[in-house]
Amino acid sequence: MGTLASVLEHAGFATVALSSIRGQIETTSPPRALHCDFPLGRPLGKPNEPEFQREVITAAFSLLEKPVGPVLVDYPISIEDDADAPLSCVIPPSDTSDRNPAAAEALGLLPAWRRTQETYGRSTVGKVITAEQVPDMLDLFVRIGDGESWEDVGFPGDPTKIAADIKNFYEEASISLSDTPPSARSAESWFVTETLGGQTIQTARIKMKEAGTNFYFWYYLLPMTQHHEGEQDSL
């Protein structure tokens, strides 16, 4: 980001960078940067606090008044949260149809996901599949966990992007199931460690790794911080 800001400045565009990792912004040394000691993924602070977020943006834009750079300023407020602790979230009853448990769980989460979409008017699900296709895709990941090759189960696209759609579906559903906004990665941790959908993808990831699958396809099924070898049977 700092390097891009320098390139844009050279082309005549004034820039301000928001930093979450001080060492990184010091290395790239952009013309103007506001370092915010906030959890990663929360560059403007806590969600659902628009006044605080506006104050951060105002502080960042005020750096445009500095005549000479590089300028690096620390925002005076730090925010800490239990970023990686799983979200406290009650999963609705699974669908009672004759589906594997992970697919049934996802079917039961569809109403919560729809409530979130109606509330916010947008979704990050849709790289490859729709929310309604999540249960069917979990069926395919179950087959990988049972020993089938990922190339033979019939994915409609890149399995890493399908896995991202499934993760985003669960995280968005959790917004309507929790009383408080999740901390930085708590919904992600909840998905991987507390749900059958997350367990299913973790199991498939490990099976693909053990089978000698191309690194890209097993490694990026889940975020690196959620690679828990040997823990897929914990639920």
- Looking at residues 11-36, what average pLDDT do you find? 89
* Residue 183: pLDDT over 80: no
pTM: 0.71
- Looking at residues 5-30, what average pLDDT do you find? 87
pLDDT at 232 (0 to 100)? 47
Helices 134-145 + 159-175 axis angle, to 10: 120
Helices (H), 64-133: 101-120
Under DSSP, is residue 205 helix (H, G, I), strand (E, B) or coil? Answer: helix
Q: Calculate the average pLDDT of the chain.
A: 88
Residue 85 pLDDT level (bands cut at 50, 70, 90): low
pLDDT at 133 (0 to 100)? 98
- Looking at residues 23-29, what average pLDDT do you find? 88
Under DSSP, is residue 46 helix (H, G, I), strand (E, B) or coil? Answer: coil
* Of the candidates 101, 165, 108, the residue with the CA atom closest to the CA atom of residue 139: 101
- Looking at residues 155-180, what average pLDDT do you find? 93
Q: CA-CA distances (angstroms) from residue 92 to 47, 111, 170, 190?
A: 24, 9, 12, 14
pLDDT in tens, 100-122: 999 999 999 999 999 999 999 99
- In the chain, the amino acid numbered 231 is E
Domain boundaries, the chain: 2-74, 101-226
